[in-house]
Amino acid sequence: MADCIFCKIIKGEIPGKFIYRDDQLVSFYDINPKAPIHVLIVPVKHLHSLQEIKPFDKELLGSLLLKVNVIAKKLGIAKDGYKVVINNGQVSGQLVFHLHMHLLGGWKEGAHWQV
């Protein structure tokens, strides 16, 4: 989508501090972190939210989930643990309407919130 901030970051039109990138997904630091380490994992394909996914997106969604631990290891948070959050819709707190996962970790004494 032309006006999507994540699409612009993916295309390089807006700078982002990338952690990982391949042909299906990108990962970059959140500009408003909620944890010592807070990155986003975003499909290159624009999907508004989980409500928009179709059965043929199964491989893409699997790739997103499989890369979580790879990225967590790269960031040094896999051993101690981390949270993965997907906000789905405005009421849930989704601010950017391009499907994405939040990977949060790096707490020294445990997370300050629980689900």
Q: Kindly list the domain boundaries of the chain, sorted by start residue.
A: 5-105
Q: Residue 85: name the closest of 24, 26, 25, 35 by CA.
A: 35
pLDDT in tens, 88-108: 999 999 999 999 999 999 998
Task: Give the total residue count for the chain.
Answer: 115
Q: Catalogue the active-site residues.
A: 100
Reported confidence tier of residue 113, pLDDT bands at 50, 70, 90: low
Give burial (CB, 10 Å; 0-12/13-18/19+) of 85. Answer: middle
CATH of 5-105, one of 3.90.1140.10, 3.30.1370.60, 3.30.428.10, 3.40.50.1370: 3.30.428.10
Residue the block writes with tokens 């960031």:
75
Q: What average pLDDT does range 56-68 have in this prediction?
A: 96
Q: What is the pTM of this model?
A: 0.92
| pLDDT per position as a tens digit, 11-60 | 999 999 999 999 999 999 999 999 999 999 999 999 999 999 999 999 99
* CA angle (103 as vertex; 77, 79 as ends), nearest 5: 20
Helix locations, the chain, DSSP H: 5-11, 58-75
